[in-house]
Amino acid sequence: MMMRNLLSKVLTTTPHKNVKIEALKQIAQELRRQAVLMTHRAGSGHPGGSLSQAEILTALYFFRMKHNPKNPQDPHRDICILSKGHCCPSFYAVLAEAGYFPKEELMSFRSMGSRLQGHVYAEVPGVELSTGSLGQGLSVGAGMALSFKIDKKTNHVFVLLGDGEMQEGSVWEAIMFAGRHQLNNLTAIVDFNGVQQEGFTNEISDINTEERPLAKKFTEFGWHAIEINGNS
């Protein structure tokens, strides 16, 4: 009951600045707990990337974004695209915590007939785009952001990518496109947890090294890039 009461207080203040940090920390821990339970029950899934993005998702859905779980298609909503769609357990968990669907449904993850599939599925309330084929989310997000600017709308688009995903060429096409069109209503968040399926990210590619840092690559394409501790 303490967690549910806590969440109700947070939801009434979204996306204002008076949300308590301690409340957000507890939500992030709940997302981690649910992600572990979901993948354990299913006997499969991608828990690593789900755990590393818990604070990011919490900050977006309970602090920053304009969204309405009672009306997922609210035309004034901000958009969140999980481009690394295989990391969906904590993404489904944050949607359930926010009230898009019952938390009890989380335990149907990867079950036959469940809408909570192993990669993000657009039939789930609150999901904007089916993802899983890496490298697609930022391109779609850039298109949405450009559309909002053309229509003079205030919607903001957030795209969460993985560090291994940054090796996809289509990501860099989208980065170049967004910089060219000055899409200041688009935010790309790279969850740099340092590990991908084949090993440590920096041992596989030079996505982020001292000589060639990732933030500088974004800057050279016209982005405003900052580096933060994504788990603080």
pLDDT digit string, tens, across residues 51-82: 999 999 999 999 999 999 999 999 999 999 99
Rounded CA-CA distance 67/59 in Å is 13
For the record, the structure tokens of 209 come out as 């090294």
User: Is the Cβ–Cβ distance between 57 and 63 less than 8 Å?
Assistant: no
User: Domain range holding 84?
Assistant: 2-220
Residue whose C-alpha is closest to residue 103's, from 9, 28, 35, 6: 35
Note whether residue 118 is domain-resident.
yes
Note whether residue 231 is domain-resident.
no
Q: Please tell me the predicted confidence (pLDDT) of residue 26.
A: 95
Note whether residue 228 is domain-resident.
no
pLDDT digit string, tens, across residues 36-52: 999 998 888 888 889 99
pLDDT digit string, tens, across residues 141-182: 999 999 999 999 999 999 999 998 999 999 999 999 999 999
Q: At what angle do helices 169-180 and 137-150 cross, to 10 degrees?
A: 20
For the record, the structure tokens of 228 come out as 């933060």
- 124-140 burial, b at 16+ Cβ within 10 Å, e below that, comes to bebbbbebbebbbbbbb
Note whether residue 232 is domain-resident.
no
Residue whose C-alpha is closest to residue 169's, from 209, 208, 206, 135: 135
For the record, the structure tokens of 133 come out as 């084929």
Residue whose C-alpha is closest to residue 49's, from 132, 113, 115, 146: 132
Number of domain units in the chain: 1
Q: Please tell me the predicted confidence (pLDDT) of residue 17.
A: 60
Note whether residue 225 is domain-resident.
no
pLDDT digit string, tens, across residues 131-140: 988 999 999 9
For the entire predicted model, the pTM comes to 0.88
Note whether residue 147 is domain-resident.
yes
Q: Check which CATH number belongs to the domain holding 85 and give it.
A: 3.40.50.970
